[in-house]
């Protein structure tokens, strides 16, 4: 079956070709999960490696659920190496709200990706070692041959990874301070902003833009403004996701609510 003939639910016509709008969250996530499956299958067939850049948050949860289903149905992830976008700092990897814990539970353990092939910024690294850790993270991406497909979400303030407003297009993996809006948006997992780390380690915008292909998954009305600003507004550090317009291989995968602010003319 060709990839297009098995596409779940057609994207709505009338928008730009790099903006796909699906009727529901589930169909949007299904589309992304199948894109990832294609890349994994292609790498397995050519006995090469698939390097995936992965995101956390609520948006990709259903994508990961579907990848776990595919694995149960026989898809092997033995040829896959992954790099996550970000992690809070400081945080213990066992903390229930850490991205390490999220990835282990929702993806890595169920599909059998061992730690050596699942790279994540380390939220427990001592402060004086952060710089070296970030450099080494960049080098590990390079050694892998580069990211084939980077999955991104978008923050309500337009952040990607934890590249908050003000982030430069050539920024690399580094420690960043979290924006007050981000603390608010993500506090539920910690039971309040006062219990949250104030910083994070994130791939930079420059790091993200080096991925060969990028899929941005944005779901729900809360993302409509940020999507509109990133896709149709000026390219500016105020909206970090707008830097994605400098990349030729970006696809925006939206549900109707997240696409609600876009002009139909496209
Ligand atoms: C988080 C992450 C981002 C994620 C975004 C949206 O803070 N650092 O990588 O894309 O915010 O998350 P959600 O999908 O939960 O809305």
pLDDT single digits (tens) 48-93: 999 999 999 999 999 999 999 999 999 999 999 999 999 999 999 9
CA distances from 6 to 3, 14, 75, 114 (A): 5, 21, 17, 30
Q: Residue 1's pLDDT is what?
A: 31
- Cα–Cα distance between 104 and 99 in angstroms, integer? 8
Q: Are 189 and 120 spatial neighbours (Cβ–Cβ below 8 Å)?
A: no
Q: Which atom of ligand 1 is nearest to the CA of 200?
A: 8
pLDDT single digits (tens) 195-252: 999 999 999 999 999 999 999 999 999 999 999 999 999 999 999 999 999 999 999 9
pLDDT single digits (tens) 10-20: 566 556 889 99
Name the residues annotated as catalytic.
86, 157, 159, 164
pLDDT single digits (tens) 133-145: 999 999 999 999 9
The position carrying tokens 């213990």 is: 92
Q: Residue 9's pLDDT is what?
A: 54
Identify the three-state secondary structure at position 245. helix
pTM of the model: 0.94
C-alpha closest to that of 88 among 75, 98, 101, 102: 98
Strand order in the sheet with 174-177: 86-89, 199-202, 174-177
Q: Report CA(176)–ligand 1 centroid distance (Å).
A: 15
Q: Residue 16's pLDDT is what?
A: 81
Q: What does the radius of gyration of the chain's CA atoms come to, in whole angstroms? A: 17
């Amino acid at each position: 079956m060709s990839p297009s003939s098995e596409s779940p639910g057609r994207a709505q016509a009338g928008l730009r070709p790099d903006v796909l709008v699906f009727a529901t969250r589930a169909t949007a996530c299904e589309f992304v999960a199948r894109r990832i499956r294609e890349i994994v299958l292609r790498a397995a067939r050519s006995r090469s490696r698939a390097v995936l850049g992965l995101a956390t948050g609520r948006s990709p949860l259903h994508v990961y659920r579907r990848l776990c289903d595919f694995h149960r149905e026989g898809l092997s992830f033995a040829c896959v190496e992954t790099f996550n976008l970000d992690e809070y700092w400081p945080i213990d990897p066992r903390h229930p709200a850490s991205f390490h814990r999220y990835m282990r539970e929702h993806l890595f353990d169920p599909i059998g990706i061992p730690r050596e092939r699942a790279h994540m910024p380390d939220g427990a690294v001592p402060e004086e070692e952060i710089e070296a850790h970030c450099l080494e993270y960049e080098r590990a991406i390079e050694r892998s041959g580069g990211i084939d497909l980077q999955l991104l979400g978008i923050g309500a303030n337009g952040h990607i990874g934890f590249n908050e407003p003000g982030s430069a297009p050539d920024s690399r993996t580094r420690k960043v301070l979290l924006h007050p809006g981000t603390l608010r948006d993500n506090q539920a997992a910690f039971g309040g902003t006062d219990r949250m780390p104030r910083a994070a380690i994130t791939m930079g915008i420059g790091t993200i833009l080096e991925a060969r292909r990028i899929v941005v998954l944005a779901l729900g009305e809360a993302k409509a403004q940020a999507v509109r600003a990133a896709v149709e507004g000026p390219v500016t550090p105020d909206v970090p996701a707008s830097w994605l317009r400098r990349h030729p291989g970006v696809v925006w995968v939206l549900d109707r609510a997240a696409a609600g602010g876009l002009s139909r003319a496209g």
